[in-house]
A = this chain, B = another copy of it.
Amino acid sequence: MTPLPSTQQLRYLVALGETAHVGRAAARCAVSQSTLSTGIIALERTLDAQILDRSSGRRVVFTPLGAELVERAHTALAALQEIADAADAIRAPLAGQLRLGLIPTIGPFLLPRLVPLLRHTYPGLRLMLREDTSARLLDDLFADRLDLLILAEPYPCGGAETLPVARDEFMVAMPKAHPLAARDAVPMAALSRETMLLLEDGHCLRDHVLAACRTATPQAAFAATSLHTLIHMVSGGLGITLLPRLAAACGIARGVDVALRRLDGAGAWRTISLVFRPGAPRILEYRALWPMVASAIANPAP
């Protein structure tokens, strides 16, 4: 019915909305005053609606509709800009700054492989890293202080888009002298008789482990602040724990009196995922990142 407004005219409209002055708006758009004036009038004609109130002298006064259209033009231009941004992003893939957030149970085990890989493939990439809990990382993501997260799911990501990369199974970590260490794999049921050591509250791994083996009795009093601490508590005989294969493969239990065994049973894993704002302009770059993260997980630092 009503024809759609042109991109150019929308630029004129928002500039005029910001300056309330035809001459200055024209300068901001790098066109002549007459061009912008004509453009606004043409927009009024295409929309068949009054944008400026011309009864009040020479000044620029918006009608209620005009003010509303300025608002909407602004959001429409943002959508158009995102198209241009997406095109830009593919031209120089993963160049410039990328603010990446990771959780403490992934970062130390993934980055030793991932960072060299990225530096090699995308020399132009300036990687800014941040390690924190999932909740705080998501806050930063939505506040536009981070571009991309690597989290472990399931986790309530509150509207963020997630791209699953790999399944990270849980292994049982116990003292080498523990009876269960004699077996090749530990059945889920055997966990119920053990004291399960956990990370502090706030670490998503704590919840994942609890969910994986809800029969075991958690050791409530002492919670570890990191996986390394946790391993040493296991080695000290305070109990057993579940460890992501990613951490285990990085030799976290090397040189420590701890045995690692497979865990039999359904649901004994977490999913490592890329997480970003829905509609992020660089989504294609994140997708391009996917195989590198998968590769870094599949071939962890020895």
What chain B residues lie within 8 Å of A83 (beta carbons)?
4-5, 10, 47, 69, 72-73, 76
What chain B residues lie within 8 Å of A283 (beta carbons)?
68
Q: Tally A residues with Cβ within 8 Å of B.
A: 37
What chain B residues lie within 8 Å of A76 (beta carbons)?
76, 79-80, 82-83
CB–CB B91/A69 < 8 A: no
- Whole-angstrom distance between the Cβ of A67 and the nearest chain B Cβ: 9
What chain B residues lie within 8 Å of A284 (beta carbons)?
64-65, 68
Total identical chains:
2
Segment 100-139 of A: residues with Cβ below 8 Å from B: none
CB–CB B69/A4 < 8 A: no
Known contacts A76-B76, A90-B65; is A84 also within 8 Å of B7 by CB? no
Q: Does A59 touch B at the CB level, under 8 Å?
A: no
Q: Interface 1/0s, chain A 73-93, versus B by CB < 8 A? A: 101110111111111101100
- Whole-angstrom distance between the Cβ of A100 and the nearest chain B Cβ: 21
Segment 172-218 of A: residues with Cβ below 8 Å from B: none
* A279 to B74 alpha-carbon distance, docked (Å): 12
CB–CB A82/B87 < 8 A: no
